[in-house]
Amino acid sequence: MSKNQKGILLINLGTPSDPSVPAVTKFLRRFLSDRRVIHMLPLLWQPILNLMVLPKYAPKSAANYERLWSSGIGSPLLHYTQRQAQLLAKRLPEYTVRYAMSYSQPLIGAVLKEFEFQGITDLTIIPLYPQYSTTTTASVQDDVARFYKDRKTVPEIRFVSDYSSFWPYIKALSNKLQKAILKVNPDAIVFSYHGIPLSYQKAGDPYAQRCRQTTMAVIERLGLSIPCFQSYQSRFGPAEWLKPATKDLLTELPKQGYQKVLVVAPSFVSDCLETIQELGEENRDAFLTAGGCEYQLLPALNDDPEWIEALAQLTLLNAVMPAQNTAMDLPSAYLQTE
């Protein structure tokens, strides 16, 4: 049995094992079969998914993954998630640190079984989603609960459900943004978050509020006077999603006189398809085509030392105060949403 009884599990969404159509199809099938992600009865949804959605979207998605895949690091999301676990282990040597994915290898259950074998009795779980949503964080909670449902022994679990305005995270994000502002001198900043269907918010998902808390915390920390906008990206399917859509907003900004924009994606702590391809290529083209002159995308936190320190502080805080909710309510001044 390991002498180290404390563990940390970082959990991200996942990534295809390679950019081929079969691998992307397998990944998307697992992802889009999660009832937290798609609120439709499996009996109705599975035929649609397998006969219509996957044949249409998997080849397109595979082509996008092919463009961002690197011979050196492979999937950026996997690479940076691994780096975060490695660096956090160095920062907190008294902990055994691992990472897992919700929809690809290594799966959550497999890593929890590894912790069980190692005799971990105190486990901190940090989903790599700063803003709580039922589509992400709650899905992770489901997986963890399923694993431990019939276990004879369960470790002390410290689950970090939200850190949308946790100060070390805001500090890391703000400092990275401040350096870019000084370099770019933008006339507008766009905070782009992964979207969710509007119906999920109406059903009680607090995600949009959590996103607003992050945006406001950054604005207040930096004392920004530059016009700031909040928007949502990565829409999927015909349902109405949170608005404004990032691409729509970026198309409108040049018409309002904004020629130089700096885009930051706070809900993505590792660069991935949605940052590199969607924001870095598709939305850039939309802005420039609409008349914009300069478009800059802030890289994700990735392996930034201040982000690693934020993860360490999340762990240490919850070791003292289990189940601590690190979100804070903040005023809504300064933010422009449309």
Q: Residue positions in the annotated binding site for Fe(2+)? A: 194, 274
What tens digit of pLDDT does each residue of 78-136 get? 999 999 999 999 999 999 999 999 999 999 999 999 999 999 999 999 999 999 999 99
Span 167-300+330-336 CATH architecture: 3-Layer(aba) Sandwich (3.40)
What are the residue ranges spanned by the domains of the chain?
21-68, 167-300+330-336
What are 5-64's pLDDT values in tens digits? Answer: 999 999 999 999 999 999 999 999 999 999 999 999 999 999 999 999 999 999 999 999
Q: What is the pLDDT of residue 338?
A: 36
Mean pLDDT, rounded, for 291-299: 98
Residues 83 and 85: their CA atoms lie apart, in Å, by 5
Q: What is the pLDDT of residue 319?
A: 81
**Residue 70 — very low, low, confident or very high, per pLDDT cuts 50/70/90?**
confident
237: left (phi over 0), alpha (psi -120 to 50) or beta: left
Share of the chain above pLDDT 90, in %: 91
Q: Which positions make up the binding site?
A: 194, 274
